[in-house]
Amino acid sequence: MATAAELAELPERPEAPRQTTEFRISRPQIVGPDVPESPFPILLAGPVQQGFGRGGKELGCPTANLPDESITPISSVAKTGVYYGYAQVLPPKDGKTELCQDDIRVHPMVMSLGWNPFYKNKVLTAEIHILHEFKSDFYGYNMNAVVLGYIRPELDYTSREALIDDIEIDKRVALNSLNRPEYEKYRTNSHFDLTCTI
């Protein structure tokens, strides 16, 4: 089984299908079965790294990037695309942080695993957008995530606006899909630190 680092060094990025207006209109608002099925849940953890800086500035969707070695659990069993689940940013052990108590709770998230074909990335990345408004950056902080389902394949886009539209739909689909009892219970999964306080 290839590691994330090996996948990231592939000489050619796979071609992604083009997004179409028909695709957006026909998108379901809830995805996945009522109970997570294999290979889910997939547990991820690692320090948040600086990415390309596009998510927040260009797309209105700031993301936290995980290092290559952290994405091996998902890149070895899942296809590229957009996923949903829960994530938690952990405060430093020394307690020095600008995060507030609400920031370190477990929050819904959407995650892009892939090559970002619109931007022609040359490496495989896992970018997590936590559905919570943080007041400060948390680069270098550890983040835990539980991936629970698949939303859609990775797509290429004819415009940034079309990409932004799909990202907004992804967020709604993630929230709708997590709003089911067998998914909600993962908010208190032992993978998260439910005792941490600032």
Query: Residues in the chain with pLDDT < 50?
Result: 1-14, 16-17, 55-56, 118-119
Beta strand ranges found along the chain (DSSP E): 42-47, 64-65, 81-89, 107-114, 125-130, 142-153
Order the strands of the 64-65 sheet from edge to edge: 42-47, 142-153, 81-89, 107-114, 125-130, 64-65
pLDDT the model gives residue 13: 45
**What whole-number distance in Å separates Cα of residue 136 and Cα of residue 6?**
33
Domains of the chain: 4-13+40-180 (2.40.30.30)
CB 151, CB 31: distance < 8 Å: yes
pLDDT digits (tens, 9 = 90+) for 104-158: 999 999 998 887 654 455 577 888 999 999 888 888 899 999 999 999 998 877 7
Helix and strand element counts for the chain (H, E):
6, 6
Opening angle at CA 162, ends 26 and 137, nearest 5: 115
Question: Which residues face 143 on adjacent strands?
Answer: 46, 89
Which residue bears the tokens 């495989």? 124
Please provide residue 27's backbone torsions phi and psi, each rounded to the nearest 5 degrees. -70, 135
pLDDT the model gives residue 6: 46
**What whole-number distance in Å separates Cα of residue 57 and Cα of residue 189?**
32
pLDDT the model gives residue 1: 39
Catalytic positions are 127
3-state secondary structure of 70: helix
pLDDT the model gives residue 45: 95
pLDDT the model gives residue 85: 98
To the nearest 10°, the Cα dihedral for 146, 148, 150, 151?
A: -90
CB 155, CB 108: distance < 8 Å: no
pTM of the predicted protein model: 0.83
Longest dimension (CA), the chain: 51
